[in-house]
Structure 1
Amino acid sequence: MKRKQFLLAPIAALPAIALGKTETHTSRTKLPFIVQAGNNRSGVPMMKFMGIHPNDVVVSRKDTDNALSAFLFTGYGNVGTPLHVHFNQDEFFTVIEGKYRFVCGEVDAELNAGDTIFLPRNIPHQWLQLSENGKLIYTVNPAGELEDFFQEANNLKEPTQEEIDKLALKHGMKHLGPPLSR
């Protein structure tokens, strides 16, 4: 009898699973929205620790129940990211203006306006702006905590590299090396 009960228990649970309550989210934005140039969803400038390079949140993780977030980066001069890895997020970048060099795993490529690159999670990557002016739009999927990383980094007065690295790790990514050079 015990064997029969053991075998029938999963079958008996199927109706409950099929009719089970599905989770509903209330934070997802239900209406379209527009983010005007120079503004962002958070209401505060991002990435001030990198100097004059705005990194605006144009679609917040709060808008999508953490499904994705999108950022608009505007760079001036020779700027880029350190070699880093995201543990739980994929990224894709589209170059809007300028020229960039992306390195992701074995791929080392120069991208121009209109080009897009996909960077899978858990593969170390970095990029460098090669032109005097540049603009990227990029998404992180799922959104994770990149937005929180930028906001917390902004709150640091004059952060050291060690503080930024520690903050990155707290938010699901790890800095592995210095930025690219020309």
Structure 2
Amino acid sequence: MKRYHFISAVLAAVPLSSWIKAKTAAILQTVKGFKVPSGQARFGIHYKMKGVTLNMLDIKISGKDTAGGLAVFEQTSLTYKGGPPLHIHLSQDEWFYVLEGKYRFRVGDDEYEMNPGDTIFLPKQVPHAFIQLTEKARVIVSYCPAGRMEDFFAVTSQWTSAPTKEAIAGVFAAHGMKVVGPPLMVD
């Protein structure tokens, strides 16, 4: 009989724990609108990438604002003919909207030339990479769910020189991504 009561209690607690998680997430989510002015970051932190690429990223909408549902960044790309290695996000969809400059994206086996005003969707678990084709470029990039991307940019902005391939793979893995190939090259 004790076993029956134990199993009943565990089964009753499962919906309760789901309800508690949902309520906790709702409490943690921002409930008031906000504005992030042009050229500024949500919390005043400008991530300055110094390792793989020389990019600047500003949080516009934080995962903290959305209970982890979404993160949006503005990326100013300063690495002509540079970009990240071919990689996958294990549990995040990603999209880019090009504001300035030109890029080439690879998504799975397809490649796309991207110009200002173009949008591209990168589904989770699909290998992707991009390369910057102009001296300067700028995009809005979004991750859904937010995952650990804010932490990823905080860590990689601490690099002061080009990291090893092993270091890159390790940081990607620690933040829910997997490196699956080299960066794209310009023909």
Structure 1 range deviating more: 27-36 or 138-147: 27-36
What SS does structure 2 have at the residue aligned with 1:49?
coil
What SS does structure 1 have at the residue aligned with 2:125?
coil
Alpha-carbon distance in 2 for matches of 1:101, 1:145: 25
What SS does structure 2 have at the residue aligned with 1:61?
coil
Would you say 1:181 and 2:182 are equivalent positions? Answer: no
Cα distance change on mapping 1:29 and 1:178 into 2, 3 Å: same
Query: What letter is aligned with 1:175?
Result: V
Q: Deviations over 1:130-166 (max 9, x none)?
A: 1222111011001101111111222344462322220
Deviation at 1:21, TM superposition (A): 4.4
Specify every segment of 5 or more residues in structure 1 that has no aligned partner in the other structure, as ranges.
1-8
Deviation at 1:55, TM superposition (A): 1.5
**8 Å Cα contact 1:153-1:159 kept in structure 2:** no
* Corresponding position of 1:5: none
* Corresponding position of 1:100: 103
Give the TM-score, by structure 2 length.
0.80
Alpha-carbon distance in 1 for matches of 2:15, 2:181: 47
Cα distance change on mapping 1:52 and 1:159 into 2, 3 Å: closer
Seq. identity, %: 39
Aligned pair count? 169
Alpha-carbon distance in 1 for matches of 2:75, 2:61: 13
Alpha-carbon distance in 1 for matches of 2:128, 2:117: 20
Alpha-carbon distance in 2 for matches of 1:172, 1:63: 20
Alpha-carbon distance in 1 for matches of 2:15, 2:88: 37
- Select the residue among 55, 58, 61 that pairs with 1:59: 61
* Corresponding position of 2:153: 150
- Select the residue among 169, 172, 175 that pairs with 1:171: 175
* Corresponding position of 2:82: 79
Would you say 1:49 and 2:61 are equivalent positions? Answer: no
Specify every segment of 5 or more residues in structure 2 that has no aligned partner in the other structure, as ranges.
1-7
What SS does structure 2 have at the residue aligned with 1:163?
helix
Cα distance change on mapping 1:104 and 1:88 into 2, 3 Å: same
* Corresponding position of 2:33: 32
Give the TM-score, by structure 1 length.
0.82
